[in-house]
Structure formats: structure tokens, C-alpha cells
Amino acid sequence: MYDKLEALENKYEEINLKLTDPSVISDQELYTKLMKEYSELTEIVEKFREYKSHKKAIQDAQEMLEEKPDKEFREMLLAEIDEGEANLEKTTEELKILMMPKDPNDQRNVIIEIRGGAGGDEAALFSGVLYRMFTRYAERNNWTYDIIDANETELGGFKEVVFSIEGKGAYSRLKYESGVHRVQRVPSTEASGRIHTSTVTVAVLPEVDDLPEVEVNPADIKVDTYRASGAGGQHVNKTSSAIRITHFPSGIVVTCQDQRSQHKNRDKAMRVLKAKLYEIAQNQIDSSLAENRKSQVGTGDRSERIRTYNYPQGRITDHRIGLTLYKLEQVLDGELDEIIDALITEDQAKKLANK
């Protein structure tokens, strides 16, 4: 690992030098590419330099010990060595994590699908709660979001809602949200005050650009237009602006009726179709690496129950890592970082253990 890190540091310095070259600065495409590479290397190089600094501090203290100092100075040097070794161990673990292969999708935007499962109207209402939770989280990170398609209910929830979130690293944070979210609460329509259990499924897909895995042959799709509609007559168009795209090879059907422009709805629907086709391609790869998938926190399988939101106790439990927090209101208001950070830490630990 040390040799690899030395090579990365050398590369980092080479790129830094190139970025000051006028011929590189004038080539916008090359300059942007080098800046991206430089940015990606910065964290790992800085951590490697921290590692070397701790190592040198230990070596210096050990050399001074060999000179047989007095008792007081010797104790101070031994304390410095203990502290340096603890810092070195911590930095080594951090470097191992930074050196792990990166998920190529981590920096992508995401498309999220939320669908009411068991529980009828109550599940639809909770779909609306989760939609708000994710969009509030996006706002906290200064990301933008945009509804692609929504099937609202009369009570104000969603039978299903599809939306995009755009922001650096959105997928790296939100990919852990795929699965079944379970809610336990007393519905407003329940006269006897009994607690009901309902479920909502969430799928988080990386939004993809034009990649070989997601080429869409125009001959493989059928595009239909129809009039948009919504609960209570909301968003109803007098023109046929809503879009339905059917992809024959996969059987995927995607709809979009949020925009009044047929062209915009078609663009959004194609984004969702490509994300779904990319997911299929990735799942085929993952199935051949099944053992690796098992070692990760959550497989991304939308049938896996990942979390329970218990309203009477103000409790939220993530079943994958056994984490329970008594801050339901805050989490539903978009304070997801504590849960996501814990999931990332556990995921990294499992991957390191299986290396």
C-alpha cells in the first residue's frame, strides 16, 4: 500500500505542476480533466502526508531515546511514541478506506421512486412523509430536486412518486435508502386509536449519462401521449402533454406528466428509463459477484425491510445495523446524516474485513 501511495503522491505533484502550464490552462477540456483528477487525489495525498508525519515523529522520538536521556525526558519521549503509534494506527485505517475501490456511481445524481405498499391510504400518506424527508435532506445539502411523476391520493399522499435529486455525491449518500420502510402509527382515520403497520418501498437509482449499458434503440420503444390528471383535478391539462414510454425488450413502462411541456415530460421519462436499464445491467454484474454483495450493508434490494418508524415511541430503527434513535421528528425533517454516516461506517468495515 505504501508504494501505491508514493506513486499517487508523485502523480499528484505532476498534475499540480501541469495545472500551472499556460498551454494546459488554455486547453479547457484538459484543464477540467486534470482539475477533477487533482481534486480526487487531494484527500488521499493529504492523509498519506499525515501518515508520514506521524511515522517521522515516532522515529525521531525513538532516535532520541537511544541517546539515553534523563528519566523525565525519557518519559516524555515514551508518551510521544505512544501517542504517535495511536495516531499512526488511526491514519492507516483511514488510508485503507480511502484506497478501497470507489463506487463509480457515487458522484451521480439520483432518481428516487417511492411507492405505497401494504396499508392502503396510510401507506400512501407515509409515502408523502418520506418524499418530504428526502427533499428536506436535499435542501440541507443545497441539492435541487424535481418531480418526474406523481400519483396523488385524495388524502394528500402518493400512491407513487418519482423524483430526481441533483447534487455532488447524492448517490453516495442516498443509495442506502433503497428497500422497505415500515411505519407504525395510529392513522388519523382510526377511531379506536389502534396502531397500524404500513410499508412503503423506496428505490434509489443513479442517474446515468449516455453509457454503453444504457443505449436505447428507438425501435425498441413505444411513446404514447395522453392528458395529465391528478387527485381532485390537480395538474389537469387540456392538451396531451403526459408521456408514457414502453420499452419492449425489458417490459419497463415509464410515465411522466409533471410538466406541461410534452418535450420536457419525454426527456424526464427517458432519464428514468435509462436509470432503470442501468440498474438491470448493474444487477447482472452484482449477481456474478454475489458474495461481495452479501458483505455490504444492504443489497439495494427494494424487497428488503431496512427501517421502522415508530410514532408512539418517537423511535426510528435501522435493522441492517441495529441502530435505534429516539429522534423521529428530526429524521423525518431531513436530519438523516447520523443514520447515513453509521451505514457508511459499517459498510466500509465489512468491506475491509472481506478484503
**CATH number reported for the structural domain that contains residue 250 in this entry:** 3.30.70.1660
pLDDT digits 0-9 by tens, 226-257:
776 654 444 444 556 788 889 888 888 888 87
* Residue 249 sits in the same domain as residue 323: yes
Please compute the mean of the pLDDT values over residues 20-27 and round it to a whole number.
92
| Percentage helix, strand, coil for the chain under 3-state DSSP, each rounded to 5 | 50, 20, 30
Say what angle helices 2-18 and 28-65 make with each other, to 10 degrees. Answer: 130
Q: Specify the amino acid at residue 145.
A: Y
* Residue 132 sits in the same domain as residue 279: yes
Give the long-range contacts of residues 73-80, CB within 8 A, separation 24 or more.
none
Q: Specify the amino acid at residue 143.
A: W
Burial of 248 (0-12, 13-18, 19+ CB in 10 A): exposed
* Residue 213 sits in the same domain as residue 68: no
DSSP codes, 286-323: HHHTHHHHHTSS----TTSEEEEEETTTTEEEETTTTE
Q: What is the DSSP letter of 241?
A: -
Phi and psi torsions of 155, nearest 5° = -85, -5
Say what angle helices 28-65 and 71-99 make with each other, to 10 degrees. Answer: 150
Higher pLDDT, 272 or 335: 335
* Residue 15 sits in the same domain as residue 52: yes
Containing structural domain, residue 16? 2-99
pLDDT, position 191: 59
Does position 293 have pLDDT exceeding 50, yes or no? Answer: no
pLDDT, position 289: 44
Does position 60 have pLDDT exceeding 90, yes or no? Answer: yes
For the ranges 66-70, 95-99, 287-291, 310-314, the lowest mean pLDDT is seen at 287-291
* Residue 122 sits in the same domain as residue 45: no
* Residue 95 sits in the same domain as residue 155: no
CATH number where 57 lies: 1.20.58
For residue 105, being part of any structural domain is answered with no
Cα–Cα–Cα angle for 283, 285, 287, rounded to 5 degrees: 65
For residue 118, being part of any structural domain is answered with yes
pLDDT, position 266: 83
Confidence of residue 54 (pLDDT cuts 50, 70, 90): very high
pLDDT, position 355: 58
For residue 208, being part of any structural domain is answered with yes
